[in-house]
Chain A
Amino acid sequence: MKVTFEINGTEKSVDVEPRTLVVDLIRTKLGMTGTHIGCDTSNCGACTVLLDGRPVKSCTLLAPMLDGKKVTTVEGLAAGGKLDAIQVGFHAEHGLQCGFCTPGMMLVGKALIEANPHPTEDEIRWGISGNICRCTGYMNIVKAIQHAAAANAAENTAGVA
């Protein structure tokens, strides 16, 4: 069947089996391999993408559910050669090691600070608790999200001034 959606600002219309998982559509059909598969049971969040701005686990969605929606993957984070604040935060605070959970973590973190620009540490920890990282122990992921929140706040202040 035909499914039409927007991914990272580009409209796509693809022919897929209805049972195709969104993560497989993105990775195999569209060749965008930044979205990963870690558990198949929606526990780990390595496959997280943004659907109309909300984080979802793409291993648990079927391709037809994308119809008419907007998808953002890790490949869509940087715009015009400029890194998103969340990407800067993860690099600056050593928020990644093997990098496998990183795309999902960054997307969850970005959605979190967009909804709540000044999160407490507890709010961040709760907000990312649907995503598993085996390497970092989360300490620096929390800092990375705080780093991005602070950068966004500074930019907004600068804009007002």
Chain B
Amino acid sequence: MAVDTTEAAAAAEAARQAMGGIGVSLARKEDARFIHGQGHYVDDVVLPGMLHMVIVRSPHAHARIKGIDSSAAMAIPGVVAVVTGELLAQHKLAWMPTLSGDTQAVLATDKVRFQGQEVACVIAETKYIAEDAAQLVSVDYEPLQAITTPQQAIAPGAIVIRDEKEGQTDNKIYHWEAGDKDATDAAFARAAKVVSLETFYPRCHPSPLETCGCVADLNPVTGNATIYMTSQAPHAHRTLFAIVAGLPEEKIRIISPDLGGGFGNKVPIYPGYVVATAASLLIGRPVKWIEDRTDNLISTGFARDYYMDGSVAIDENGKFIGLRVNLLSDNGAFFADAQPSKFKAGLFHIVTGSYDIPAAHIVANGAYTNKAPGGVAYRCSFRVTEASYFIERLVESAAVELGQDPVTTRLNNFIQPEAFPYKSASGFEYDSGNYPAAMKVALDMLGYDELRKEQAEKRAKGELMGIGVASFTEVVGAGKGKDYDIAGLRMFDSAELRVHPTGKAILKLGVMSQGQGHETTFAQIVAEELGIPASDVEVREGDTDNTPFGLGTYASRSTPVGGAATAVVARKLRDKGKIIAAHLFEADVADIEFAKGKYNVKGSPDNVKTIQDIAFAAYTNIPDGIEAGLEGVTYYDPPNMTFPFGTYLVVVDIDKGTGQVKVRRMVAVDDCGVRINPMIVEGQIHGGLTEGFGIAFMELITFDDEGNCIGSNFMDYLIPTAWETPRFELGQTVTPSPHHPIGAKGVGESATVGSPAAYVNAVIDALSHLGITNIDMPITSDKVWAALRSKGVTE
């Protein structure tokens, strides 16, 4: 009998793998084209008669434009046009709206406001000719004083950067508050202890390996506008193109082919897209614009640049009772954050994190500077990264001041598992969580207690070793649409499922993969819900003519929203299948049962019709009064966000002589609810932990006093290679989301959100006994060396 059981289990497992439903680490369907070199990215698009565009950029951070002379450029054979802001102004295209309700110069007309700003575009027969000619466009500048920090920007008497805006008399953009000031003041008034932290999350850049670009193909005869572009949100971009350029929306087709990474960099609309489109319309030929790496780093959406200053109020029992945070944000020359329109500091108010803090108050101010605009994600959901970093660093400071192990401080203050759904002081309703459980798994994996002993022994010998802890909570998966919109477009998402007569299916989505493996993961949801093997489900995205409207992929929303839409539409078809099955069985619909792709009449489990039989009947033998076909579409508006969480632990060793930090261990325990494809989830976490490592130790976009960008290429902006990157140890707990149809939460950004604080806390843990309480990222050897020397520590 034991043998039979084993054989049955093996057969069941083989069937599960063949179906490829939820929980199977199915190898990716999309891999075949990539490993053959047949990935199709925007720069691979070649159209007949295609021209090439290169952007002339400002060398100054702040200067008045006195004149532009393009005659020498135009004299080069093969140059077709030089587009300036003046020309665009004649078509009312010199300025465009941003995703945050501000305006941004497409090509500068009056002033340049950051180094690298778009001033003119050269369009030529080849890219080489366009590059040659771009060097010959002569711009006469009158340099102005550059403002490179938000503190300078808001100081009285500062030169006004946005002097073209009516009513703008200073460099302030917004003032925004969340939470309850009075309740928070009261909490601080009765606190036994107040612990404060002032820290800066520096400017960094998503820098996907593929830069941004487009091929705009506007046909003056038909009026059709086909734009191949690096877009994480093709439908939203189509609508914005209709609004910005005044093109009829039904004539616009945005095609986002394979994307070579995104990480938020491909959410905004950049001037290059607009000029290439306008140029194609005016010239009547396709125009290709592809950024080089420097273009990408100096002009497209950067991330962070957030000054954070706050305190936690603690009662006599070591419980957190209040949290205050003041933010000052450097938004660059144009306020172009990509975030829900009602929230000027994104979802920063998730800053209470994993802790039960009954009162919180957040004050945020934004300022213009002479730096590139952005404030968009770098694998972060709307400022959640900054929030998570701040609270996890502040809790570390609190532990030091309380003289506690940082694990104890966290366990004392976690929101308890029975408290969910939990309403936070700043207005979120957390869907589910079990923070102590994830913490325990992480501590056991690391061997925490042993390492603390080792640390004590090393410290006695004068050696520096640290253990960093971070227990993050994220908020991802916007909408609901009523509360969350971008440029007015509500943040629902869509899935259209068509099951063909032979039982094979095609699934079309409003979200857009940038490497996350949607073609596999979303097919697995269909397999689970409808019993059509994942290998028989083709997934299509990124072509606005051929997919339903959706808001796209960023902020870890594909699985929470698009994944939910997929499950819901599959269930709709399953229900229609019951009607068809009843017809075939000559039974009542109420008596039809469905499981794993098979329909049967109650009580007759062995007489089944497969989903493939039903699909065939849907086109060949449909009951009277029922529409033919087995197709459906769903627009899913989530009832709430999802709240993934986890505990990350990092062990570092620090060389006192050089200040060099070596990451010895990195344990990451994530809870993202139900995992659809565990292999892909782990891949996402590996990537996020690496980007978090880069941000913590290497990556920095900074500026000198004149506003020159330091970090304009991969020799200065340091990206982790395989050599520096730590080896990660992953663990998991599973706490399903109660409101998501399959219990899943977003995960793509968890590791970038959670890990920077874990890395930094490890460094501070190694140094706090010396009185070193903060080092701002990136933690390079020279900063550690200087901190050690400031405390009199030498070799």
Contacts and interface: CB of A to CB of B under 8 A. Distances in A.
B39 A134 contact: no
A140 B263 CA distance: 19
Contact of B686 (A20, A37, A137): A137
B37 A97 contact: no
A90 B691 CA distance: 21
Interface in B223-268: 258-261, 263
Interface in A117-131: 121, 124-126, 128-131
Given A38-B209, A75-B37, A132-B714, A100 B260 contact: yes
A46 B38 contact: no
A78 B713 contact: no
Contact of A102 (B35, B259, B687): B35
B209 A100 contact: yes
Nearest to A84: B35
A110 to B, nearest CB: 12
A94 B209 contact: no
Contacts of B688: 137
A101 interface: yes
A37 B291 CA distance: 10
A102 B34 contact: yes
Contact of A38 (B37, B38, B293, B723): B293
B683 A136 contact: yes
Nearest to B260: A100
Contact of A96 (B31, B46, B207, B292): B31
A98 B42 CA distance: 13
B722 A96 contact: no
B37 A34 contact: yes
B727 interface: yes
A33 B290 CA distance: 14
Most buried by B among A20, A75, A136: A136
B723 A98 contact: no
Contact of B715 (A20, A27, A43): A43
Nearest to B43: A37
A56 interface: no
Given A36-B210, A135-B515, A91 B28 contact: yes
A126 B722 CA distance: 7
A99 B35 CA distance: 8
Contacts of B517: 97
A31 B725 CA distance: 35
A83 B39 contact: no
B36 interface: yes
B41 A100 contact: yes
B27 A129 contact: no
A22 interface: no
Given A39-B293, A43-B714, A138 B722 contact: yes
Interface in B700-757: 713-715, 719, 721-723, 725, 727-728
Given A99-B515, A132-B721, A34 B36 contact: yes
B317 to A, nearest CB: 40
A109 to B, nearest CB: 11
B713 A41 contact: yes
B514 interface: yes
A87 B46 CA distance: 27
A141 B722 contact: yes
A19 interface: yes
B294 interface: yes
Interface string A9-47: 000000001011000100100011111111111011010
Contacts of A43: 713-715, 719
Contacts of B687: 97, 134-137
B35 to A, nearest CB: 4
A115 interface: no
Contacts of A46: 209
Contacts of B683: 94, 97, 135-136, 140
A35 B293 CA distance: 16
A40 B293 contact: yes
B261 A34 contact: no
A129 B724 CA distance: 9
A129 B41 contact: no
Contacts of A142: 722
Interface residues of B, number: 56
A110 B227 CA distance: 37
Contacts of B41: 33, 36, 100
B210 A137 contact: no
A7 interface: no
Contacts of B210: 36, 38, 98, 100
A96 B462 CA distance: 43
A153 interface: no
B679 interface: yes
B722 A73 contact: no
Contact of A137 (B35, B514, B689): B689
Interface string B8-44: 0000000000000000000110111111111111011
A92 B32 CA distance: 11
Contact of B35 (A36, A41, A91, A129): A91
B516 A97 contact: yes
A113 interface: no
A103 interface: yes
Contacts of A40: 292-294, 713
A135 B206 CA distance: 11
Contact of B207 (A17, A78, A106, A134): A134
Contact of B31 (A27, A34, A91, A134): A91
Contacts of B259: 98
A65 interface: no
Nearest to B27: A91
B39 A99 contact: yes
A121 B36 CA distance: 25
A98 B232 CA distance: 13
Given A43-B713, A134-B261, A139-B686, A97 B722 contact: no
Contacts of A97: 261, 515-517, 683, 687
B723 A139 contact: no
B501 interface: no
Nearest to A21: B128
Given A39-B293, A39-B713, A128 B34 contact: no
A71 interface: no
A137 B690 contact: yes
B208 interface: yes
Contacts of B727: 121, 139
Interface in B35-92: 35-41, 43-44, 46
A50 interface: no
A126 B39 contact: no
B680 interface: yes
Given A100-B260, A134-B691, A92 B714 contact: no
Interface string B566-585: 00000000000000000000
Contact of A136 (B31, B686, B713): B686
Nearest to A99: B34
Contacts of B32: 91
A84 B32 CA distance: 13
A149 interface: no
A98 B27 contact: no
A64 to B, nearest CB: 15
Nearest to A34: B37
Interface in B490-535: 514-517
A98 B208 contact: yes
Contacts of B292: 40
Given A36-B260, A94-B28, 14 more contacts: A43-B714, A43-B719, A44-B714, A90-B31, A94-B679, A97-B517, A98-B514, A100-B261, A129-B723, A134-B207, A136-B686, A136-B687, A137-B686, A138-B686
22 contacts: A38-B211, A38-B293, A41-B293, A43-B713, A44-B293, A74-B36, A77-B37, A91-B28, A92-B27, A96-B515, A97-B515, A97-B517, A98-B210, A99-B34, A99-B260, A128-B722, A132-B719, A136-B683, A136-B690, A137-B689, A138-B686, A139-B728
Rank and list the top 4 A-B pairs by shortest CB-CB distance, nearest first. Answer: A34-B37, A98-B515, A100-B260, A99-B34
